Amino acid sequence: MSFQISSNSILDRNAGDEDDGSCSSHSDSSFDSKDDQDWGDWTEEKDDQGNDQSGLETHSLFALSGGKGEAGEGPLFQTFPNPILALEDAKQKGCDLVRIVKELELDTLQVIRLVNHIRRRGLTPDQVNSLKGVEPFLNDDTELVPVQGFEMDGLL
């Protein structure tokens, strides 16, 4: 998402104002928390040739069954070129994360906590589907720390 502010619009707004040395600000925009819950911006970005340009490599939400990571440590996660494919993978496994986030009305930090908690604790799709939105980990700031190796993950 990008914003552009025209210096002309600022100058036009202040054209008749006298400088009395005070500082004031005015904004025609407002924050709507419901807009913050709209995960519609989680979309693929494509270039003119239709190639995916949506950014960060993303690990699957759920570990592969029985797989082990590098040097046999921890579970193995599939990687995807973007978050959309990781979300589709989770949905195919029975967990529609976008739907869950909307239904539980989770804010951005709660979504980060949820994703980290799922990976850290190895939750299954059924366990995630049974969440009620009142679980203590959803407000536990220690869950904001990414799982090691997932610091730049696209779902965060």
Which is more confident, 35 or 55?
Answer: 55
* Residues 58 and 50 sit within 8 Å (Cβ to Cβ): no
- Reported as a single tens digit per residue, the pLDDT across 57-99 is 999 999 987 555 454 567 889 999 999 999 999 999 999 999 9
Asked if the model's pLDDT at residue 33 lies above 50, the reply is yes
- Reported as a single tens digit per residue, the pLDDT across 9-29 is 444 444 444 444 444 444 444
Q: What percent of the chain has pLDDT above 90?
A: 55
Smallest Cα–Cα separation from 78: which of 2, 154, 1?
154
pLDDT at 75: 82
Handedness of CA 100, 106, 111, 116 (dihedral sign): negative
Residue 46 tokens, joined: 């494509």
| pTM confidence score | 0.64
Q: Helix (H, G, I), strand (E, B), or coil: what is residue 59?
A: strand
